[in-house]
Amino acid sequence: MITPIFWIVPIASLLALSLAFFFYKQMMKESEGTEMMAKIASHVREGAMSYLKQQYKVVASVFVVLVILFAIMAFGFGVQNEWVPVAFLTGGFFSGLAGFLGMKTATYASARTANAARTSLNKGLQIAFRSGAVMGLVVVGLGLLDISFWYVLLNSVIPAEAMDPTHKLSIITTTMLTFGMGASTQALFARVGGGIYTKAADVGADLVGKVEAGIPEDDPRNPATIADNVGDNVGDVAGMGADLYESYCGSILATAALGAAAYVATGNVEMQYKAVIAPMLIAAVGIVLSILGIFAVRTNENATIKNLLRSLAVGTNLSSVLIAISTFGILYMLQLENWFWVACSVITGLLVGIIIGQSTEYYTSQSYRPTQRISEAGKTGPATVIISGIGLGMISTAIPVVAVATGIILSYLFASGFDFANASMGLYGIGIAAVGMLSTLGITLATDAYGPIADNAGGNAEMCGLGKEVRKRTDALDSLGNTTAATGKGFAIGSAALTGLALLASYIEEIKIGLIRIGQTVLNFADGREIPIHKATFTDFMYYYDVTLMNPKVLAGMFLGSMMAFLFCGLTMNAVGRAAGHMVEEVRRQFREIKGILTGEGEPDYARCVEISTKGAQHEMIFPSLLAIIAPIVTGLIFGVTGVIGLLIGGLSSGFVLAIFMANAGGAWDNAKKYVEEDNLGGKGGDVHKATVVGDTVGDPFKDTSGPSLNILIKLMSMVAIVMAGLTVAWSLF
């Protein structure tokens, strides 16, 4: 069933894509500056593209295996939806495409930003920010386009006559939900591989360059410097984009499935339809208003860092406020049941996102005491820097968790009519809160992707020896990027947590469809009651599978889930350690063997370092990635649905807190070092500075590899469970 209002969704997505294309073309018209600037940019671009190609090859082979597996499950054993094998591919393809386009734009933009900074600060900001906006718009545009496409297709091909209409919509939404796994798998490799790449290069470059050879960051004499700049693109642009593409699609699809579920029992097909398209409409409106925000970002010539921050804040705040207001409007127009309170759930999500962002800024910015205290701990050496950073990171989990917990309760209560027993509407409320948080993604992701562009522009300016005035401008742009990167990380984690919850709730819907597929029609309870499956509520399923907290399968699952978060983190930490070790050896070798490299007479072999990072990342990403995919499958085969839910919730609750801890500790260490470099506590080169450099190096994999990879783990395990639901209900050991 498709009514006119639905068409807002594909139109908004096309609008986003057109604008992205326009921004891209505009940026390409600018000059790249001197020949050397262009040359360095092309080095970075080629390195990044060659990495991405390598990664796509690995991902493609994983996809082939999985598609065959899904096809066997679907057509051989009938425990899988027949659309999944194809749809899995489109999700993966669009996610990969978004990463590719965003990164390509970013790598073209860096030299142009540096060159524009020779003219003025505002010009530099415009180019960098609008190029970042390409990423934001491509992600939301392709995401909504994929969703619209499948929604229209499935609506027309699934025969309505054969079944109850509420059942039809329920099948459509649960089928669409499984598409998310394609995006999830793509995101997994992008985040983990990109994360390992970027930090292997960064840590390697820092350890030998800064610490041993004593040359500054981004110095052209350092052979790892190009790899380091490549890393920013593959990790922070492509990786972050794929992560949020997944959250974006996942939250919309999960909420649609929950919306369909909420109205199956009532038979009110019109309201069901409205509940299904509500999250898509909110996302569509969010796109339009994000675009408005993007245009509002501008600054004047003599802008300070504060002015710059304010101009970005103007854009995002404007979008947020407008979305909050419009949500009431669009849900009112849609005449969704209980529209006012459902809109309040959306606003709750938006607010939780803002609170997490603010708290991240407080705990990681050198303008506030917590980070300054880490710098001060440097007076007694690196050990106390590490201890106080870990302490800060752990303490910093309190505000985000309380915000999310409150958000869960409120969004549930609002949407359920303040009735805890009304789980189907309550969970819909949690889902739509996630959509609310992510509705600003067009502009939030623009500010995120802006960071690495500005960073690379700074690197380009440094390597090409541009004037002091230009360096000052690119430094200002870079510094702004560091702050937006930190808040962006908080936003990515928060949205992953809410999306993870929405996915977890919609897992029950997949179980329902899975049971129907294998021919079960009623739920039989021990006390003799029988409930027809398509009338069963969430609570009925919880009792049917005995998903209570005293079931040993749930308990075992939860312990395993918590452990998975730590294990996954530990594996990625060690991966960075090993890959960085190879990089260190290579840089040392070049310093030793290439004559005149430190005097600037000999040219370092940049390509070799890029190659080492690429190989290291490709090699190291395989094991943790496969583990994340396999864990929920094995748990399902042993402990069934009950154990899987335990695993997911254990992984979600521990993983969320662990991710915040790691991101904030890492961010704070980074800025504690910056604080010292701003001529505090002895300034650059002093003992305190050396101590904080150790903290910064430890923080690199915390904030850019392991921490962000947890976002994926949280969502991916749910996605795998969802796609494997058919198998899990058909067979398990216990």
Task: Identify residues 263-292 at the interface with a second copy (CB under 8 A).
Answer: none
CA distance 422 to 418: 8
> Is residue 686 part of the contact set for a second copy (CB under 8 A)?
no
Instruction: Provide, rounded to whole angstroms, the least separation between the CB of residue 331 and a second copy.
Output: 21
Instruction: Provide, rounded to whole angstroms, the least separation between the CB of residue 363 and a second copy.
Output: 11
Contacting residue, 207, 437, 672, 729, with a second copy by CB under 8 A: 207
Tokens of 426: 């309550």
Closer residue to a second copy (CB): 546 or 601: 546
Long-range contacts of 597-604 (CB under 8 A, 24+ apart): 597/221, 597/223, 598/213, 598/215, 598/221, 600/220, 600/221, 604/220, 604/221, 604/222, 604/223
CA distance 191 to 537: 36
> Is residue 549 part of the contact set for a second copy (CB under 8 A)?
yes
Instruction: Provide, rounded to whole angstroms, the least separation between the CB of residue 676 and a second copy.
Output: 16
**DSSP string for residues in 630-666:** HHHHHHHHHHHHHHHHHHHHHHHHHHHHHHHHHHHHH
Burial of residue 131, with CB atoms counted within 10 A of its CB: 0-12 exposed, 13-18 middle, 19 or more buried = buried
Q: Cα separations (Å) of 610 from 607, 674, 726?
A: 5, 27, 43
Instruction: Provide, rounded to whole angstroms, the least separation between the CB of residue 271 and a second copy.
Output: 22
User: Alpha carbon 585 to chain centroid distance?
Assistant: 32
Task: Identify residues 397-426 at the interface with a second copy (CB under 8 A).
Answer: 397-398, 401-402, 404-406, 408-409, 412-413, 420-421, 423, 426
Instruction: Provide, rounded to whole angstroms, the least separation between the CB of residue 663 and a second copy.
Output: 13
Span from 87-95, 228-236, 270-278, 392-400 in contact with a second copy (CB under 8 A): 392-400
Closer residue to a second copy (CB): 425 or 477: 425
Q: State the number of binding residues for a second copy (CB under 8 A).
A: 91
Nearest to 157 by CA among 85, 78, 89, 82: 82
Contacting residue, 41, 200, 226, 427, with a second copy by CB under 8 A: 427
Site string for a second copy, 167-206 (x = CB under 8 A): ------------------------------------x---
Task: Identify residues 570-589 at the interface with a second copy (CB under 8 A).
Answer: 570-571, 573-574, 576-577, 580-581, 584
Count of beta carbons in the 10 Å neighbourhood of residue 1:
15
Closer residue to a second copy (CB): 322 or 404: 404
Span from 299-307, 316-324, 436-444, 650-658 in contact with a second copy (CB under 8 A): 650-658
Nearest to 135 by CA among 163, 159, 107: 107
The CA-CA-CA angle for residues 135, 139, 312, to 5°, reads 50
Closer residue to a second copy (CB): 101 or 649: 649
Closer residue to a second copy (CB): 45 or 553: 553
Task: Identify residues 472-531 at the interface with a second copy (CB under 8 A).
Answer: 501, 505, 508, 526
> Is residue 390 part of the contact set for a second copy (CB under 8 A)?
yes
Bridge-partner residues for 523, per DSSP? Answer: 531
DSSP 8-class letter at 239: I
CA distance 617 to 623: 11
Q: Cα separations (Å) of 297 from 308, 312, 450, 476, 688?
A: 9, 6, 12, 16, 37
Closer residue to a second copy (CB): 322 or 628: 628
> Is residue 645 part of the contact set for a second copy (CB under 8 A)?
yes
Tokens of 92: 């993966």
Span from 28-36, 154-162, 509-517, 549-557 in contact with a second copy (CB under 8 A): 549-557
CA distance 385 to 353: 29
Closer residue to a second copy (CB): 162 or 550: 550
Contacting residue, 563, 594, 598, 634, with a second copy by CB under 8 A: 563
Is the Cβ–Cβ distance between 683 and 677 less than 8 Å? yes
> Is residue 36 part of the contact set for a second copy (CB under 8 A)?
no
Half-sphere exposure of 364 (CA within 13 A, CB side): 32
> Is residue 710 part of the contact set for a second copy (CB under 8 A)?
no
Closer residue to a second copy (CB): 24 or 538: 538
Closer residue to a second copy (CB): 32 or 700: 700
> Is residue 150 part of the contact set for a second copy (CB under 8 A)?
no
CA distance 492 to 714: 12
Instruction: Provide, rounded to whole angstroms, the least separation between the CB of residue 292 and a second copy.
Output: 34
CA distance 656 to 650: 10
Contacting residue, 489, 553, 689, 715, with a second copy by CB under 8 A: 553
> Is residue 49 part of the contact set for a second copy (CB under 8 A)?
no
Span from 42-50, 142-150, 678-686, 697-705 in contact with a second copy (CB under 8 A): 697-705
Closer residue to a second copy (CB): 75 or 420: 420
Is the Cβ–Cβ distance between 646 and 549 less than 8 Å? no
Task: Identify residues 657-676 at the interface with a second copy (CB under 8 A).
Answer: 657-658, 661
What would you report as the CA-atom Rg of the chain, rounded to the nearest whole angstrom?
25
